[in-house]
Each structure stands twice: as C-alpha cells, then as structure tokens.
Amino acid sequence: MTHCNPLSFPAKTIGIDLGDRISAFTIRDAAGEVTERGKLPTTRIACHEFFSLHPGARVVYEVGTHSPWLTWLLRELGHETVVANPWRFKLISQSVTKSDAKDADLLSDFGYLKPSTLSPITHRGPEVNAARAVITARSTLVRARTKLINCVRGLVKSIGERIPASSTESFHKKLWLPDSLRPALEPLREQIRMLTEQIRDFDKHIERLGREQYPETGRLRQICGVGPITALSFVCLIEDPNRFSNSREVGSYLGLVPKLRQSGNRDPQLRITKAGDRTTRALLVQCAQYILGPFGKDCDLRRFGLRLAERGGNAAKKRAVIAVARKLAVLLHALWVSGEDYEPLRAATKTQPRTRKAG
C-alpha cells in the first residue's frame, strides 16, 4: 500500500467496534497496514490498560451507549478520537456481511484514510452529560405518568363513566374512583402522585442547575415560551456556541429542516430530517406551539408563524409550528453568541415606515 504523503497519516490508527460486553479492534500502522486484530472486554479497566499500551493513537469507533465514557477516557490518555455517526455512514450499519471484526477493519481503514467520511460527532463533557441526564430522566417520568393517566381514563370509560378534566399535576387529587374499580385504580393513583412529586423535584433541580451552573440559560429564557427545561437542554446540547459559524446551522443540526431529494425538475416537499437530539427538538416544538397558541405574546416569531398558518388547513398549521421551532433555535443561538437582550418585535420595528416631523 503506497501513499503520496505517508507523513500526513497517524502513526497508529485503532478501529474498535464497541459491543456491550466484548469489543473487537483492528490496529493499523503509519503505512495503513494491519498489525493486530483482537478483542477486549468493554470495561473501563480493560480499555485503560489496552489504550495505555498504544500512546498517541487515533481511535475510531461508532457513537453508542459506551462511546461517551470511552471518549472521556481516551482524552485523559492523550489519544485522538473519531466518533463515527452510523446514521450518516451507512457502509457499516447497512452492510450485508456485517461482523464485529469487519466493522473494526472498516473503522480503522476510514479513520486512517479520511475520518471526515465517517461524519464524526463530538461528545460533550461529563458535567454537561450529567445535566442532560437530569432532563432525560424527567422526560422518562413524564411519559410514564402520561401512560398511567391514559390507562386510568380508559378503565373508567369502560364502565360508562368519565373523569372530569383537570391539569396533569392535580389529576391524582381530583380523581374520582368508582367502587368497582377502586382495587385496580388506587395503586395507579398512588403511582401518579409519586411521579408528580418526583417530576416537581426534577423541575426545582433543573431551575437550580440553570441558575448556578449555566447562567446563560437566563438570557435564553427572555423569550416568552422558553422555560428552564428548554433553555438548559439547548445549552447542554450545543455546549460550545462557537462550534457553529452561522446560527442558521443550528436548525439543521436539530433536524428541523426539510429533507432534500431534488432531481432534474422534480423537487418534492418532504418532512424534516429529525436528525440530532430528539428531546431538545421536541421541547422546541412545544415552545413553538405555545408561542402560536392563545397564551402566546405578540412577537416576531408569533407573527411569522401566524402568517404561515393562514395559508390554510392543518398541514399549514403544522408547517408553521416547525418553522417557528426552527427560527426559535436560530434565535436562541444568536442571543447566546451575541449576548444581546431579546427584542420581541425587533423585525417589526425595523419594517415600520418612518414618520416625518411636523414643521
């Protein structure tokens, strides 16, 4: 194997296919030749011992459950890390002859030749990861509570009764239990009560995190409809706002831009890509729904969304929500980078005609 400029390649490239218990690896030298293949346990101790024997290597692996802690470990050991995105690099995920050893070979090969083809992602630091874990845990509890509430409503409807409308937080207090269903529903009501209290504790913790560790969230919360959860989720997801040269790139990063399948004169309207973090994207959509809803305050975002929704039909309203969510993401990043105060009607003020002074 010959290359025009072998000095431009790393001294050692290690491709590792991370398994839940056992991981396969392939090591290539500076010339790109395979020098070793093998397997090792997917544990912190085993990985520390193995990678300590190969200082200054370029380590290539796919994003997954074990990739965050491995990234932190490799950074401590001074390795170069390349975390491949399997959703964009389909050669491995859609291979018809897939195996752990072959995957490790491919990762080491592309990592050696041209890492950019792997669409590498950047893992966040441990502190940011811990903050995001709080948001994920809260979201899990909210989904569990919703399922329990829907189950209770369905069981009560099955006997011809109906539970009065109430807020989710007060559902367990206002829940009326028919005698025939009391043995089945009483435990569910208790679980709903406990989940509500735990979610409330998470809300307080998230508020405290934003205030003490991520004060930049306060600037983002100037926008009506953006609360502490959305602000913290956005800040922790982006982590470094300077990683984007243009705020408009954030909409694409969060999967809020339409897919493209243009060919010749054909350019169909497609759904959004839904790339990136699902939790943050869902929070931004919820914020957009609030901004366009009956309680949303007058602002540029609301006026923009309402103009799109006026084009008619439910489809137009859905597109308006997504468009506002995308503009909201761009605005949040712009506020964060610039450090400016939020002006709700900034665009509207600029477009207003100037009035001449009398005299």
For residue 359, being part of any structural domain is answered with no
Query: Would 1 be classed as within a structural domain?
Result: no
**Domain identity same for 225 and 195:** no
Q: Which residue, 87, 118, 149, sits at the end of a domain?
A: 118
Domain count, the chain: 3
pLDDT of residue 2: 34
Residues 207 and 226 in one domain: no
Considering the domain architecture, whether residues 133 and 82 belong to the same structural domain is answered as no
pLDDT at 241: 94
Q: And the tokens for 323?
A: 């468009």
Crossing angle for the helix pair 278-292 and 313-338, to the nearest 10 degrees: 110
What pLDDT sits at residue 262? 66
CATH code of residue 47? 3.30.420.40
Q: Are residues 182 and 152 in the same domain?
A: yes
Provide CB contacts within 8 A for 256, sequence distance 6+: 272, 281, 284, 322, 325, 326, 329
- Residue 54 maps to a domain: yes
Query: Is residue 101 in a domain?
Result: yes
- Residue 206 confidence (pLDDT): 97
| Residue at a domain's end among 118, 140, 175 | 118
| Domain-ending residue, one of 118, 143, 175 | 118
Tell me the three state secondary structure of residue 15: strand
> What pLDDT score does 8 carry?
61
DSSP-based helix, strand, coil % in the chain, nearest 5: 55, 10, 35
Domain assignment present for 17: yes
pLDDT in tens, 196-209: 999 999 999 999 99
- State residue 50's pLDDT score: 97
Q: What is the pTM of this model?
A: 0.84
In a domain, 356, yes or no: no
Q: Tell whether 89 is covered by a domain.
A: yes
Same domain, 242 and 346: yes
Asked whether residue 337 is domain-assigned, the answer is yes
- On whether both 28 and 91 belong to a single domain, the answer is yes
**Edge-first strand listing for the sheet containing 80-84:** 34-41, 22-28, 13-17, 58-62, 80-84
Residues 248 and 288 in one domain: yes
What is the pLDDT at residue 94?
Answer: 63
Q: Is 112 in contact with 28 (CB distance < 8 Å)?
A: yes
134 and 191 share a domain?
A: yes
Do 172 and 273 share a domain, yes or no?
A: no
Query: Can you give the residue range of the structural domain that contains 201?
Result: 126-213
Q: Spell out where the chain has E strands.
A: 13-17, 22-28, 34-41, 58-62, 80-84
Same domain, 231 and 346: yes
139 close to 182: Cβ distance less than 8 angstroms? no
Residues 91 and 152 occupy one common structural domain: no
* 237 CB neighbour count, 10 Å cutoff: 20
Quick one: 70 and 158 in the same domain? no
Low-confidence spans in the chain with pLDDT less than 50: 1-7, 358-359
Please report the pLDDT score of residue 54 as a whole number. 96
